[in-house]
């Protein structure tokens, strides 16, 4: 009976660790950047992921804006939620196609390279 209890305890521990990896697998960390130049104007968007939060920053023509948001990844989509209705970046909220590579994320076709 003690042997069965030990085996059951080990199986439960392995199962709990596996579930933790699955649950945590859809979170990003670190900073990703995308810079684009058109007609002599350079614009940069920076995404700083931490847990289920993301800080979105943008700079173009010497004007910068940032907003704190939350995100959720499900299958091949990312949903970004922004509570600040007055933010200049509120149009970045929504559900978009998503892809994650080794050193990049691609959101709605735009590739953001890992900065750190």
Asked whether residue 49 carries a pLDDT value surpassing 70, the answer given is: yes
Coil, strand or helix at 82: coil
Q: Determine, yes or no, domain membership for 91.
A: yes
Q: How much is the pLDDT for 7?
A: 35
Q: Determine, yes or no, domain membership for 13.
A: no
Q: Determine, yes or no, domain membership for 7.
A: no
Q: Determine, yes or no, domain membership for 4.
A: no
Q: Determine, yes or no, domain membership for 109.
A: yes
Question: Which residues, at least 6 apart from 37, have a Cβ–Cβ distance to it below 8 Å?
Answer: 43
| Structural domain for 106, as ranges | 28-114
- State the pTM of this model: 0.74
Cα–Cα dist 66/79, whole Å:
18
Asked whether residue 116 carries a pLDDT value surpassing 50, the answer given is: yes
- Residue 28 and residue 50 in contact, taking contact as beta carbons nearer than 8 Å: no
Q: How much is the pLDDT for 25?
A: 56
Q: How much is the pLDDT for 3?
A: 41
Q: Determine, yes or no, domain membership for 15.
A: no
Residue 39: CATH number of its domain: 2.40.128.280
Q: Determine, yes or no, domain membership for 90.
A: yes
pLDDT digits (tens, 9 = 90+) for 90-112: 888 999 999 999 999 999 999 99
Count of domains observed in the chain: 1
Asked whether residue 13 carries a pLDDT value surpassing 80, the answer given is: no
Q: Determine, yes or no, domain membership for 43.
A: yes
């Amino acid at each position: 009976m003690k042997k069965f209890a030990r085996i059951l305890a080990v199986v439960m521990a392995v199962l709990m660790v596996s579930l933790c990896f699955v649950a945590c697998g859809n979170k990003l960390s670190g900073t990703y950047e995308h810079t684009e130049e058109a007609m002599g104007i350079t614009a940069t968007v920076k995404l700083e992921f931490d847990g289920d939060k993301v800080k979105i920053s943008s700079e173009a023509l010497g004007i910068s804006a940032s907003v704190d948001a939350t995100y959720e990844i499900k299958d091949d989509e990312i949903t970004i939620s922004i509570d600040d209705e007055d933010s200049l970046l509120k149009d970045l909220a929504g559900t978009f196609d998503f892809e994650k590579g080794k050193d990049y994320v691609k959101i709605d076709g735009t590739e953001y390279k890992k900065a750190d």
